[in-house]
Amino acid sequence: MGLALAALLLGAAAPQPATQLEAAQSGLIAALRAGHVLDPARVLLRASYVCSVTSGGERLFVADVLEQVRGQPEPRNYERVVLLSAALAPLQQIDVTGATPWFCKSDSLYLSSDATAPDGSSGNVIEFLLGGAAVQMNELDPTRFPLPGG
């Protein structure tokens, strides 16, 4: 048995994929905290990487964040997508409560249903413009969505 294969089987090789995922998750939460995206008055239920977009020649990252407001008679959730720079600094936050982020293609994020941008416009496709400095909401029949992936 080759030395590299033996090391892999014995666990002496590079970090295991699960460890890398846990580290990435912790890094994302730390970046969201450092960017003052997370509200300490809320309970963080989910923070996950969705996909990446390209805008203004820059690769940007989309995270899905779900928090629950404390102290309400009935639990109230606050869900949004957060656009992050390559340095993981927050560029945009868009309320998507009730919509699920599905996938990214080029400069756009495709959602399961409508969301509302900070300017009040709504749609099920979020187009990130000017390197993430601006967003445009578009409405598209989901049967006309492009295929996800490469």
Residue 52's domain spans which residues?
40-144
* pTM reported for the whole predicted model: 0.84
* Residue 9 tokens, joined: 């089987």
The pLDDT assigned to 70 comes to 84
pLDDT at res. 4: 45
d(CA 125, CA 105): 10
pLDDT band at 150 (very low <50, low <70, confident <90, very high): low
Q: Taking residues 86-109, report their average pLDDT.
A: 94
User: Would residue 126 count as lying in a domain?
Assistant: yes
- Per-residue pLDDT reduced to its tens digit, 26-81: 999 999 999 999 999 999 999 999 999 999 999 999 999 999 988 877 778 999 99
Whether residue 76 lies inside any domain: the answer is yes
Query: How many structural domains compose the chain?
Result: 1
The number of residues in the chain equals: 150
Residue 5 lies in a domain: no
Q: What is the mean pLDDT of the chain?
A: 88
Is residue 15 very low, low, confident or very high in pLDDT (cuts 50, 70, 90)? low
1 part of a folded domain: no
Residue 30 or 150, more confident: 30
User: Residue 83 is which amino acid?
Assistant: L
Instruction: Please give the share of the chain, as a percent, with pLDDT higher than 90.
Output: 70
Flag whether 30 is in a domain.
Answer: no
Instruction: Answer whether residue 107 is part of any domain.
Output: yes
- DSSP code string of 100-129: -EEEEETTEEEEEEEEE-TTS-EEEEEEEE
Tell me what percent of the residues of the chain surpass a pLDDT of 70: 89
pLDDT of residue 109: 97
Establish if 102 belongs to a structural domain: yes
The model's pLDDT over 2-12, given as tens digits with 9 standing for 90+, comes to 444 334 444 55
pLDDT at 5: 33
**The token pair that represents 34 in the structure block:** 């450092």
Write the DSSP symbol of residue 38.
S
φ, ψ at 15 (rounded to 5°): -55, 145
Cα torsion 21, 22, 24, 28: sign: positive
Question: What was the pLDDT predicted at 12?
Answer: 52
Is residue 88 situated within a structural domain?
yes
Predicted pLDDT at 92: 94
